[in-house]
Structure 1
Amino acid sequence: MSPDLDHSSRPAGQTLANDYDSFAEAYAAETESNLINGYYTRPAMLDLAGDVAGRRILDVGCGAGPLLAALRDRGAIVTGIDPSAKMLDLARQRLGDGAALHQGGLGDEPLPFPDAAFDDVVVCLVLHYLEDWTAPLAELRRVLVPGGRLIVAVNHPFVYHLIRPEADYFATEQWSEEYTFDGQPAVLTYWHRPLHAITNEFVAAGFRIAVMSEPPPAPGAREAFPDLVTSPSGYILCYLFLVLEAV
């Protein structure tokens, strides 16, 4: 969910959604330096990752590769995977021909990597597209070394309650929003689950919750987006960030 983009809620199932191939370039352009992605989500993920020099990191749902590039610039050995061929084309343009990029989705089939192949896996704004997390989380646990980290950003469950107060916060249910990315309309469809369901899914999959974060935007956000960052604290409510350790 991106409050700095034009969007409106709608019931799920009314249109083909999450077709990133159809708006890849527009999405990449819109999210390069906007509030939610450029000043909030990516800085928060990088802060949680910390010192990544020499660490083998998989970015699941890497998109056009901005987070992957930032991790590589910090010394990580990076691999990306995304279901969208057009997004991967943009990632290759950003990262160069030598980048380890793969086409595939989380939950469609096993990830094309051996067991314990990565020290960290980042899953940024991906899990909320999935109804069933059981098999995807098992795959993420499989490709991590014991003690490895799963770093996640997911729709904050309370925001769903704010947008749709008539809905059942405690249900796991599908919903959609219309967006405008760089002038191009698009629809994204999500699965809401309450906070206890999110945490229980991770624990059941063999992870220990090390960090749960609701961070502020990066410095300069209020000055760059004074109409959007309006709370006295400077915080915005959008995503929930977690660091989980494979046990």
Structure 2
Amino acid sequence: MLALAGDVTGRRILDAGCGSGPLTAALRDRGAIVTGIDASAGMLALARKRLGDGAALHVADLKDPLPFDDGAFDDVVASLVLHYLEDWGPTLAETRRVLRPGGRLIASVDHPFVAYTISEPRPDYFATTGYAFEWMLNGRLVPMKFWRKPLHAMTDAFTAAGFRLAAISEPQPDPAARELFPDDVHDLATRPCFLFFVLEAPA
């Protein structure tokens, strides 16, 4: 996400679905003016601990209208957020509204091929379908629900909202992953994991 964002010095950035704030912090450290939103007050409390009291953080659900003026931001980042939503249309329309002309949406999602292959029997790749599973976090199982979309449905949603596709990326793991996840780095480097988009809001 940071590599795709490039030089963000002085740019007004909305971190949509900021969670506990790691991307918000990294963008702020690089000179951006960052506002974070998340539907979870608990996640925002963690972000507040990370970012301090001066951070602009708001409880907001991406399914609802955003509490910002038209053209309020130069960029919107949405890191591993959109795949929680069945219908991207209203969210992308609001994202487009709060971006200035020429602004960018930088988004990442689970790679659609991964979402297709993790369950058996395999679902219809071309259908938008929900799937649920559990993650073990801090010793307890946490239920999760994501939505599968084929690649063309993603790009169709972006263009229908008025965005122009500038880049699609399937990046390799950061070199630090070799030390952090030594048992997993081979799979991370040889199988599709995530898909990244840079979308421009034409002037």
Q: How big is the shift at 1:234?
A: 3.1
* Length-normalised TM-score, structure 2: 0.95
Moved over 4 A (4+): none
Q: How big is the shift at 1:162?
A: 1.5
Flag the structure with more relative contact order, 1 or 2, with Cα contacts below 8 A and sequence separation at least 6.
1
Structure 2 distance, partners of 1:135, 1:224, is 37
Structure 2 distance, partners of 1:166, 1:236, is 17
Q: How big is the shift at 1:66?
A: 0.6
AA at the equivalent of 2:25: A
Would you say 1:162 and 2:111 are equivalent positions? no
Q: Any gaps of 5 or more consecutive residues in structure 1?
A: 1-44
Q: How big is the shift at 1:140?
A: 0.1
Cα RMSD, aligned residues only: 1.3
Deviations 1:15-54 (A, max 9, x none): xxxxxxxxxxxxxxxxxxxxxxxxxxxxxx1111111000
The answer for the alignment partner of 2:133 in structure 1 is 177
**1:229 and 1:236 in contact (8 A); partners too:** no
Q: Any gaps of 5 or more consecutive residues in structure 2?
A: none
Structure 2 distance, partners of 1:177, 1:101, is 29
Q: How big is the shift at 1:226?
A: 2.2
Work out the number of aligned pairs and report it.
201
The answer for the alignment partner of 1:50 in structure 2 is 6
Q: How do 1:222-237 and structure 2 match up within 5 A? A: 222-230=178-186, 234-237=189-192
Structure 1 distance, partners of 2:114, 2:178, is 21
Percent of residue pairs bearing the same amino acid type:
64
Structure 1 distance, partners of 2:88, 2:76, is 16
Q: How big is the shift at 1:223?
A: 3.6
Q: CA separation of 1:237/1:83 partners in 2, compared to 1, >3 Å: closer, same or farther?
A: same
Q: How big is the shift at 1:235?
A: 4.2
Structure 2 distance, partners of 1:235, 1:113, is 41
**1:55 and 1:77 in contact (8 A); partners too:** yes
The answer for the alignment partner of 2:87 in structure 1 is 132
**2:166 and 2:198 in contact (8 A); partners too:** yes
The answer for the alignment partner of 2:31 in structure 1 is 75
